[in-house]
Structure 1
Amino acid sequence: MSVEISTGKTPATGTRQRFAGSIWTLVFLSPVIAEVLSGSTRTSILFVLIPEMMVWGVGALLCRELVRRWRAGALSLLLLGLALSIAEEFLIQQTSIAPLPFPGSHAGFGRMAGINLVYLLFMLGFESVWVVVIPVQVTELIFPGRRELPWLRLRGWIVSSVVFLFGCRIAWYGWVRQARPRLGAAPYQPPIGYLVAGLAAIAALIGLAYLLRNLGQPVAKGGAAPAWLTGVIAFVLGAAWFELIGQIFVPKPWGTPAQELLAGSAWALVALTLFTRWAGRKAFTDGHRFAACWGATLACQAMPYYTIASWPRIDITGKVFFDLAALALFAWLGTKGMRRRNSEVTAG
């Protein structure tokens, strides 16, 4: 993977920028935040982190690169995250169209016309936000001086695309050919129409992300909520979103699939409206981004503790270790941000 870039913005040193640190940080953080901290990937199967980095990590990197080259806003990043989610759910692991094989789940709950609609709705939000948006924001907070620049040259694009496609193949084989049979799932062949629809949706979302690239750019007018309140709201909205997927596993869901789809869609619309409006204002600072990312990540971390008592000891130990590591990362990142703001005030 190429980690150098030559752009019209010449660094003050007159040398080429090197972006290995930011690239590998994003490639690593994407699956760790989404899969490891959420408890989906546990310590006993941590080897799957490699293909997850190839799919989620490199996929998030490619989404971020398109946004930076288009000079687009946060809305475009979210739309590209949705495209990546559609690729996962319809083409790669096909978990939203194949019958759910998870032990203890209601496989038929919300399954209509051959699609797991409740599961799909959750994954669209989870994979676009926790796989793409949050890891990109956290990485750019770690490397603020590189935020506005692309990180890949043409060679990096080619290598990243090859790694992504190879990772998709590994993920498909590992889940469809290996994991599903071990879970007792019957063989499943997706209808060709669903695969074509998935490809069409991906193309449409990428096109929409480009067409809407000027929306969400920071404007001077309007304020933002206090940073701490932004974090609390992100935690509440995130925790509620994880309750949506939980309804597939509880003995008695709180509502019918139609009611949960309606409530989940309304909840997603509220979250989208709030954060796109706030993020589109210059008053929305790095402190707000930090608080929002931390709040949403805490929601992701907290949900597994409902069932963690039934996990093997190695998975419980690993979960606690990674949660403490995430806490240390955000504490360090918050301290770093405060020092930077103090230095800016002093310099001003």
Structure 2
Amino acid sequence: MENNRYNNFWRRLAPSVGLFFLAPLVGEYLLGNISIKDIWALPFLAPMYGGGALLIREVTRRAGRGWPTLILLGIAYGLLEAGLIDQSLFNPSFEDHVLQDVAYIPALGVSAYNALAFIVGHAVWSIGTPIAIIETLVPARRTTPWLGKVGLLVTAVMYIAGSVFVFRDLQREEQFLASTPQLIVVSTMAVALIGISFAVGRKPQPKIDRQTPNPWIVGTLSFVISSLFFGATENWVGVAFKLLLLALMTAVIIRWSRCQGWGIPHRLALAGGALMTYAWGGFVLTILLGRSETIHLVGNAIFAFGAIVLLIIAARKTHDM
């Protein structure tokens, strides 16, 4: 009896733990921004990344909302992380990288190119993709809360504590603090996005009399669009191109999601296409960062292989439904 209770407890907790660690693994390690040599940092990153993803997922599902709310909250998360916590949005030499020379907006003190890359990157890859994959692995609990009130409170505390830890750690290293107007603008935008996220999608959109494409087509388009977004040239043309890709993908997803037959396999395909972009992008970023030791590329290969295996497992789940 005790053993069954123990097993049931961990089975209930597994999706939360999985999301808690998958978010930083995708958002930083698969991307190649952090090397496998620094895998020891995962428990220190998980409270901010995983705690944020889990908090967004739980709040969205408890409110009975869907992916529009989830993605908008993900964008708010990206704003808060890049603008308030690590302040990479404003720091001209974040981690010794020159970030403000590309498509610079003097009035805001930001690079439009990097702002898009950071904010959308967090919303899609740190939040949306891990949530979609973990929810696919537990189809019976896909839209229900995974945590109780205590668990939700603990998650919120972990997210705040993790964010404070990252902020203080980077302050010691970077010795940079954004201006008060910059911090106010980011905070205001994040609060506005949170409000908007719960204002949209109140009424389900009527279905249209058209069959949705095969999930393979959805996944291929997701991979192509996200790859083009990832590899866009670092100038104002690249900014315009990224915005065009975002508008195109948003319009297509809204259209397809209203078609007959849209479901879990299609959402997984969207996440899978984005995941595979980071799988190849991790090798590129590792090279661009000048990491020449073999261990770094070996790490990229391990994370990419893990991403593929995870997608295969999730895809098999969709066939069992």
* Fold match (TM-score > 0.5): yes
1:48 aligned partner: 41
Q: After TM superposition, list the pairs within 5 Å mapping 1:41-80 onto structure 2.
A: 41-80=34-73
Residue 3 of structure 2: aligned partner? none
Structure with the bigger percentage of helix = 2
Contact kept in structure 1, 2:103 and 2:113, CA below 8 Å: yes
| CA offsets 1:208-261 (integer angstroms, 9 cap, x no match) | 0111132566746443111111010000011011113xx4xxxxx5xx42x222
Could you tell me which of 116, 120, 131 is aligned with 2:115?
A: 120
1:109 aligns with 2:102: yes
Moved over 6 A (4+): 15-18
Distance in 2, Cα, partners of 1:16 & 1:26: 16
Give SS of 1:71's match.
Answer: coil
Q: Which amino acid aligns with 2:131?
A: V
1:189 matches 2:177:
yes
Between the aligned partners of 2:299 and 2:14, the Cα distance in structure 1 is: 25
**Alpha-carbon deviation of 1:19?**
2.8
1:205 aligns with 2:198: no
Equivalent position to 1:91, from 79, 84, 88: 84
Percent of aligned positions that are identical: 23
The separation in 2 between residues aligned to 1:19 and 1:224, in whole angstroms, is 33
2:171–2:177 CA contact under 8 A, matched in 1: no
Alpha-carbon distance in structure 2 between the residues aligned to 1:158 and 1:176? 27
Is the counterpart of residue 260 in structure 1 residue 268 in structure 2?
no
Is this contact kept in 2: 1:216–1:277, CA < 8 A? no
SS of 2:256's partner is helix
RMSD: 2.2
Would the aligned equivalents of 2:206 and 2:258 in 1 still touch at CA under 8 Å?
A: yes
Alpha-carbon contact 1:235-1:298 (below 8 Å) kept: yes
The residue number in structure 2 matching 1:235 is: 223
Determine whether 1:319 maps to 2:300. yes
- Aligned residue identity for 1:159: V
Say if 1:280 and 1:153 are closer, same or farther in 2 by CA, change over 3 A. farther
Please state how far the C-alpha of 1:321 moved relative to its aligned partner.
1.4
Deviations 1:271-294 (A, max 9, x none): 111123323445112222222221
Instruction: Work out which of the residue numbers 271, 279, 292 in structure 2 matches 1:293.
Output: 271
CA separation of 1:159 and 1:308: change in aligned 2, threshold 3 A: closer
1:82 corresponds to: 75
**Structure 2 length as normaliser, TM-score?**
0.89
CA distance in 1, matches of 2:20, 2:220: 27
Q: How many residues align?
A: 309
Residue pair 1:125, 1:268 contacting (<8 A) in 2 also: no
Out of 237, 241, 247, the residue aligned to residue 269 of structure 1 is 247
Distance 1:43 1:295 in 2: 23
Change (3 A) 1:217 1:312: farther
* Compared CA separation, residues 331 and 218, structure 1 to 2 (3 A): farther
Unaligned runs of 5+ in 1: 1-14, 181-186, 248-252, 342-348
Distance 1:72 1:16 in 2: 26
Structure 1: how far apart are the matches of 2:255 and 2:45?
31
Shift of 1:106: 5.8
Structure 2 unmatched ranges of 5 or more = 1-7
Q: Residues 303-342 of structure 1 correspond to what in structure 2 (within 5 A)?
A: 303-306=281-284, 308=286, 310-338=291-319, 340-341=320-321
SS in 1 for 2:94: coil
Could you give the per-residue CA deviations for residues 64-104 of structure 1, whole angstroms, max 9, x where no partner exists? 11211221121111100011001011110010111133556
Contact conserved, 1:75 with 1:276, CA < 8 A, in 2?
no
